[in-house]
Homo-oligomer: A and B are copies of this chain.
Amino acid sequence: MKLCRNGTFGPLARKISQPPPEEDKADILDAEAADRFNQARSARASALLEDYTELIADLLQEHGEARITDIARCLGVTHPTATKAVARLKREGLAVSRPYRGVFLTDEGAEMAERVRARHRLVVELLIAVGVPEEAAEMDAEGIEHYVSETTLAAFERYLKDKR
């Protein structure tokens, strides 16, 4: 987690008149820490969307259609939950659907699905490359993939290329 905050010291020393530079430094560190968490939070927010998009793409590719029931079963949720999520996908312009007709992806949605899929593959490959058993790699990648930045992704790619 790393450091964070240095200034205030309990009920006995709030806002000690320290050398201001010190305090600035602390604030910067705080800001950095907060930044990391905010980053993680926003990644968490898109995680669900990404999962749904990727799954819908898979279903479309394999079966030519993506039905609410199948989506729900694959994700291990009830169908109303899947319905709500799809509604959100539609709101965000990632998917389209008509009542009782299954779900399709917009261009934007398909693009996201492709990105997500590539990222997923890369994460799994890297995990396996460093010695994680395949099963665990698949399992953990499902959670990890949403938090891997472009920078890290690029590093993974380099690593895998060099290793081959």
Interface residues of A (CB under 8 A from B): 1-6, 8-10, 30, 33-40, 43-44, 47, 51, 54-55, 58-59, 62-65, 67, 69-70, 73-77, 102, 117, 120, 126-127, 130-133, 136-140, 142-144, 146-149, 151-152, 155-156, 158-159
Contacts and interface: CB of A to CB of B under 8 A. Distances in A.
A126 B159 CA distance: 12
A98 to B, nearest CB: 12
Contacts of A144: 144, 147-148
A10 B138 CA distance: 28
Contacts of A37: 51, 74-77, 142
Contact of A120 (B1, B38, B137, B159): B1
A54 to B, nearest CB: 5
A140 B147 contact: yes
Contact of A55 (B1, B67, B120, B143): B1
